[in-house]
């Protein structure tokens, strides 16, 4: 019920076009203004040609009934043919211009949204439904471009066609013209009422399509499909999807019937008006007040009168539908990126760098700062957020040294790692690399300096070569094989039929968990960052593979500053400094031996892991 009320509120809000919306639409149209002007001019010429043909046809009839020379009929026929050829050629040109403008606008909108989304903080992606976001780049962008590809030219050409048609009809017989126009209210009044209804249906349709797309996106991914097969009832899954598909179907039927009713009414009124023209015009012709050609011309002109009238009456509906799409696109563009590059940002200094946390406090941003209710499929955004998760965190990882973070799950270890890479910005204090605040560092420099391997290393649905190539441009095959060798994965890739060109599948699900993790480590080795962050980088490996990869990681960290998050305490014994993080605070710090001797939280974690006969096991996550 709350969702429905929210949608209704959005519909009412969208019934009036704000000046700001028009200004923003004009901003996107400005690069295409030359093409738009040419498009409009061609549309005007087409409208003129549409009026010329009925007039020529009427003259042909008069020439035949009046006993004129054959050459007159022939030349009139040639003129009609020339007009037809010109109309066909200009129609093709108009379609080409329309396509270029429309596709150009789609390109501009999509790239603007895509580039803007790339600036969003990580919190945006953790909250947003992927399907809803993709829908903005597809369905809504295409809906927005219709305003230029169809509605714009339609308004101009139909207005010109209407004025010319009425003008010519009046010169032939103002009485018949007036009688024909008396039928206009029969469909003009309903047309205006239908415009608002169709705009509302358009908005609901976009919402329902986004919901259906989201469900498909989630269920069709390898991870989603696995979860469904393990836990979900197939019948319930089918019912849930059918319910969303039924919403889309229902909206589609209602919109189709609304449009069909409108077109049917138009056809009926046009037929009645044509009967009126032939009846009244034919009577006047028999009485000698009109010639036969004029009656034919009036009948043909009438068919060209109601169409532009209908389109103009329908223009409000088309414009509103387009504005709905523009507004949905602008909603995404209006989300302010929380992380921006400072105008005074500079590159990090060359050579080894240290990492320093200086009295850092941090809170994850609330939903209203990073998301939209429509992108989360909720009526109202979650108002919670802003609770401090890191409290006065301070430490320094000297250049070339390794600092390890240990502690309970949810203590804030991964958050600390994300702040180093500036996936979020601190609330107070500072994170410095090489003595320079990351907020005063260029994105490019930070990207080349910090490398990260996460617990769930993501792989694209692409080849091994492409997934590794993300790390560094222009990487050679020799470098790829070297990285695979050092991550103990070369023999696996060599055994595959397509080698480096093997497609790993969505999120790398065609590889085992350990192989996926080693591939992300190979990617890190290729990137050659000066600061290495390992967030449970060996969590998916068995003991044998872990030993091999740990050796590769030791090589990767050699001479580099490293921040390592680990639950397996055996992997961080050699760290220069170990920080125990609990509830967002550093409660202990020191070397492995020092912390064991202290008998505090670290000693407790160590004793828990090695309690079973000296055998290590994973700490609870």
Instruction: Note every long-range contact of 439-444, with CB atoms under 8 Å and residues 24 or more positions apart, other chains counting.
Output: 439/342, 440/342, 440/344, 440/345, 440/346, 441/345, 441/346, 441/347, 441/348, 442/341, 442/345, 442/346, 442/347, 443/341, 443/345, 444/347
pLDDT of residue 273: 77
pLDDT at 201: 76
- Please name the residue ranges forming H helices in 506-619: 513-527, 543-557, 592-598, 601-609
What pLDDT, in 10s, does the model give residues 315-355? 766 777 777 778 888 888 888 888 889 999 999 988 889 99
**What is the rounded distance in angstroms from the CA atom of residue 9 to the CA atom of residue 3?**
10
Which of 278, 337, 339, 335 lies closest to 303 in space, CA to CA? 278
CB under 8 A, 24+ apart: contacts of 604-608:
605/406, 605/407, 605/569, 605/580, 606/569
pLDDT at position 43, please?
Answer: 82
358: helix, strand or coil: strand
pLDDT tens per residue across span 540-550: 566 666 676 67
pLDDT of residue 344: 93
If one counts every other C-beta atom within 10 angstroms of the C-beta of residue 397, the result is 25
H/E/C letters for each residue in 49-117? HHHHHHHHHHHHHHHHHCCCCHHHHHHHHHHHHHHHHHHHHHHHHHHHHHHHHHHHHHHHHHHHHHHHH
384 vs 381: CA distance, rounded Å: 9
The predicted model gives 474-480 an average pLDDT of 88
- Please enumerate in sequence order all residues whose Cβ is within 8 A of that of 136, keeping only pairs 6 or more positions apart, or say none: 113, 210, 328, 329, 331, 332
Name the CA dihedral angle for 610, 613, 614, 620, rounded to a multiple of 10 degrees.
-20
Q: Which range in 266-280, 288-302, 350-364 is most confidently predicted, on average pLDDT?
A: 350-364
Higher-pLDDT residue of 301 and 395 is 395
pLDDT of the residue at 7:
36
Percent of the chain surpassing pLDDT 90: 14
**Three-state secondary-structure class, residue 397:** strand
The CA angle 433-438-444, to the nearest 5 degrees, is 100
Mean per-residue pLDDT over the chain, rounded: 79
Q: DSSP letters along 181-215, please?
A: HTTTHHHHHHHHHHHHHHHHHHHHHHHHHHHHHHH
Mean of the pLDDT values across residues 521-535? 88
pLDDT at site 5: 35
CA distance 223 to 214: 14
Write down the pLDDT at residue 4.
32
Question: Is the pLDDT score of 597 beyond 50?
Answer: yes
Distance (Å, rounded) from C-alpha 162 to C-alpha 373?
A: 44
Tell me the C-alpha distance between 312 and 254, whole Å: 22
Quick count: other Cβ atoms within 10 Å of Cβ 293? Answer: 22
> Would you state the pLDDT for residue 438?
93
The C-alpha R_g of the chain, in whole angstroms, comes to 35
Rounded distance, CA 238 to CA 438, Å?
48
Across the range 469-480, mean pLDDT stands at 86
* Dihedral Cα 380, 419, 413, 453, nearest 10 deg: 100
Phi, psi of 358 (to 5 degrees): -115, 95
Q: Burial level of 356, CB count in 10 A (0-12/13-18/19+)?
A: buried
Q: Write out the two tokens for 241.
A: 């999807």
Higher pLDDT, 575 or 255: 575
pLDDT for 384 equals 62
pTM equals 0.70
What is the bridge-based pairing of β-strands 428-433 and 585-590? unpaired
If DSSP codes are grouped into helix, strand and coil, which group holds residue 491?
A: helix
Give the pLDDT band of residue 493 (cuts 50, 70, 90): confident
> Which is more confidently placed, 358 or 180?
358
More confident residue, 136 or 564: 564
At 270, list the tokens: 């046009």
Crossing angle for the helix pair 234-286 and 174-181, to the nearest 10 degrees: 150
| Strands 561-565 and 531-535, sheet pairing | parallel
Q: Which residues contact 545 (CB under 8 A, 6 or more apart)?
A: 488, 514, 518
Strands 531-535 and 436-437: unpaired
What domains appear along the chain, each with residue ranges and CATH number?
2-333 (1.20.1560.10), 355-362+390-609 (3.40.50.300)
pLDDT exceeds 80 at position 246: yes
Determine the pLDDT at residue 462: 84
The per-residue pLDDT for range 413-455, each reduced to its tens digit, is 989 999 998 988 999 999 999 999 999 999 989 988 998 888 7
Q: What is the mean pLDDT of residues 214-219?
A: 73
Specify the higher pLDDT residue, 467 or 196: 467
CA distances from 329 to 99, 161, 322, 332 (A): 20, 33, 11, 6
Residue bearing tokens 């040609």: 49
End-to-end CA separation in angstroms for the chain: 38
């Amino acid at each position: 019920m709350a969702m429905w009320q929210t949608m209704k509120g959005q519909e009412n809000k969208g019934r009036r076009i704000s000046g700001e919306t028009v200004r923003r639409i004009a901003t996107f149209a400005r690069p295409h203004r030359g093409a738009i002007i040419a498009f409009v001019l061609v549309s005007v010429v087409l409208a003129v040609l549409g009026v010329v043909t009925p007039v020529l046809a009427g003259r042909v009839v008069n020439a035949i009934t009046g006993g004129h020379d054959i050459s007159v009929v022939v030349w009139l026929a040639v003129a009609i043919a020339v007009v037809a050829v010109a109309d066909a050629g200009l129609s093709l040109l108009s379609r080409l211009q329309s396509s270029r403008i429309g596709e150009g606008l789609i390109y501009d909108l999509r790239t603007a949204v895509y580039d803007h989304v790339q600036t969003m903080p990580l919190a945006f992606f953790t909250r947003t439904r992927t399907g809803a976001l993709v829908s903005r780049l597809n369905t809504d962008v295409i809906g927005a471009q219709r305003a230029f590809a169809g509605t714009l030219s339609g308004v101009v050409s139909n207005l010109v066609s209407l004025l010319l048609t009425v003008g010519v009809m009046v010169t032939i017989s103002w009485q018949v013209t007036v009688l024909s126009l008396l039928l206009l209210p029969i469909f003009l009044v309903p047309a205006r009422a239908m415009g608002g209804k169709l705009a509302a249906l358009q908005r609901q349709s976009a919402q329902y399509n986004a919901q259906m797309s989201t469900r498909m996106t989630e269920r069709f991914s390898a991870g989603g499909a696995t979860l469904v097969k393990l836990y979900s009832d197939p019948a319930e899954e089918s019912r849930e999807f059918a319910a969303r598909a039924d919403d889309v179907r229902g909206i589609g039927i209602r919109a189709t019937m609304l449009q069909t009713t409108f077109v049917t009414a138009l056809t009926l009124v046009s037929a009645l008006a044509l009967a009126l023209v032939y009846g009244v015009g034919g009577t006047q012709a028999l009485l000698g007040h009109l010639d036969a050609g004029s009656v034919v011309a009036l009948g043909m002109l009438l068919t060209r009168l109601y169409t532009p009238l209908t389109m103009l009456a329908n223009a409000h509906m088309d414009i509103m539908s387009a504005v709905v799409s523009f507004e949905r696109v602008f909603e995404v563009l209006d989300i302010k990126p929380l992380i921006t590059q400072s105008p005074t940002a500079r590159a990090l200094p060359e050579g080894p760098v240290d990492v320093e946390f200086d009295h850092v406090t941090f809170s994850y941003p609330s939903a209203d700062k990073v998301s939209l209710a429509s992108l989360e499929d909720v009526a109202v955004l979650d108002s919670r957020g802003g609770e401090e998760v890191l409290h006065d965190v301070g430490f320094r990882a000297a250049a070339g040294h390794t600092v390890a973070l240990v502690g309970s799950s949810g203590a804030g270890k991964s958050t600390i790692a994300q702040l180093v890479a500036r996936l979020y910005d601190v609330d107070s204090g500072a994170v410095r690399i090489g003595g320079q605040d990351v907020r005063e560092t260029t994105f490019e420099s930070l990207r080349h300096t910090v490398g990260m391997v996460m617990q769930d290393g993501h792989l694209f649905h692409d080849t091994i070569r492409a997934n590794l190539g993300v790390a560094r441009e222009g990487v050679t095959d020799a470098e790829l094989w070297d990285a695979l060798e050092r991550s103990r994965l070369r023999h696996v890739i060599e055994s595959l039929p397509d080698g480096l060109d093997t497609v790993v599948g969505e999120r790398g699900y065609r590889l085992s968990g350990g192989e996926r993790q080693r591939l992300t480590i190979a990617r890190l080795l290729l990137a050659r960052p000066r600061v290495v962050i390992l967030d449970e980088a060996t969590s998916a490996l068995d003991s044998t593979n872990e030993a091999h990869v740990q050796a590769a990681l030791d090589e990767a960290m050699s001479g580099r500053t490293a921040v390592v998050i680990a639950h397996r305490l055996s992997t961080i014994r050699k760290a220069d400094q170990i920080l125990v993080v609990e509830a967002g605070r550093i409660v202990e710090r020191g070397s492995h031996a020092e912390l064991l001797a202290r008998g505090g939280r670290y000693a407790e974690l160590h004793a828990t892991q090695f309690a079973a006969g000296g055998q290590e096991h994973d700490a609870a996550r």
